[in-house]
Chain A
Amino acid sequence: MIRPPVPVLLFTHAGLGNGILEAARSILGEIEGVDVLVGGCGAVEETEDRFAAWLEDHQGPVLVLTDLGFGSCCQSARRVSRGRENVGVIAGINLPAFLAVFRTGPHEDFPALMAHLAERARQSVEVYRGGSPA
């Protein structure tokens, strides 16, 4: 069983969050400490209430990983966590970035962990042409 350094919520459209979690389990084995919240459909207020309840259940630093920075999941995450410095929201999540959560070493503080993960996410996009790095 593997756990992230802080509780993680995959807050994404449709089946993306569960898909990322399932793919990660196929690579890492059983994972705990990660929850999924589906947004982008239904009433915004209902989704935000569910997110607020999740935050209430997870005091201390937490990571919220969302897909589209301009999407309603990210907007809801930002709106509900407004003013809460121990809630980190990272948009643009993909499988390499999610896996990086489990591959971080110890960090001095939560902002450093956030910065590290964001950098890993940016570096995860690679381009090949004709089978070789472009």
Chain B
Amino acid sequence: MSVVATRVDGRLVHGQVVVAWVPAVRCDRLGIADDALAGDSWEKDLVESASEDTPVDVASVAEAVSWYREEGLPRRFVLLRSLASLLELVRAGAPVPEAVLGGIHHRTGARRFLAYLYLTRADIEALRELDRAGVRLIARDVPGNPAVDVNRALAEGRLEYDQLPAGTS
């Protein structure tokens, strides 16, 4: 499979991704799977201009399934905006072995799991389904920081929505 990493990040392409993640995963293309972005040429141009030297492909989530069936080059780093998009990708048949969760920030109804990971009730349900589908789930904002095993947190009951603290970003 040519996909070398999959990341959920509400900002998609930004400083942490360009400076830290792209060299860490040694990708030669970014693949953004996002329905809204795929239909907005101005936003596509904005994201492409933000990626520095790494070429960017933008596709709908359904179209991005094909990236996971490619073999060999290019080494593609796939970015998704939300856990809902990741779940949609997996439901559509993409064989995603592992996903890194970082930069899912506070919004209405979200509760704090980590400083960079705020989850709604629907997010946690999505995580449970991804866990059952066999996706290894890791929370990590930047490569130099420790990873948090999300599958384990689910198994140990540390990701119960009602027990997570409310809070703002």
Residues of A within 8 A of B (CB): 13, 40-46, 68-72, 74-75, 78-79, 82
Contacts and interface: CB of A to CB of B under 8 A. Distances in A.
A75 B107 contact: no
A75 B106 contact: no
Given A46-B169, A68-B15, 10 more contacts: A13-B15, A40-B15, A41-B105, A42-B105, A45-B107, A70-B14, A70-B49, A70-B51, A79-B43, A79-B46
Question: Which 4 interchain pairs have the tightest Cβ spacing?
Answer: A42-B169, A71-B15, A72-B14, A43-B105
B152 to A, nearest CB: 26
B52 interface: yes
A68 B107 CA distance: 25
A46 B105 CA distance: 10
A72 B43 CA distance: 13
A62 B67 CA distance: 43
B18 interface: yes
Given A69-B50, A75-B46, A43 B15 contact: no
A82 B19 CA distance: 26
B2 to A, nearest CB: 24
Contacts of B13: 70
A74 B49 CA distance: 11
A23 B51 CA distance: 30
B136 interface: no
Interface in B95-115: 105-107
A40 B46 contact: no
A23 B29 CA distance: 39
Nearest to A83: B42
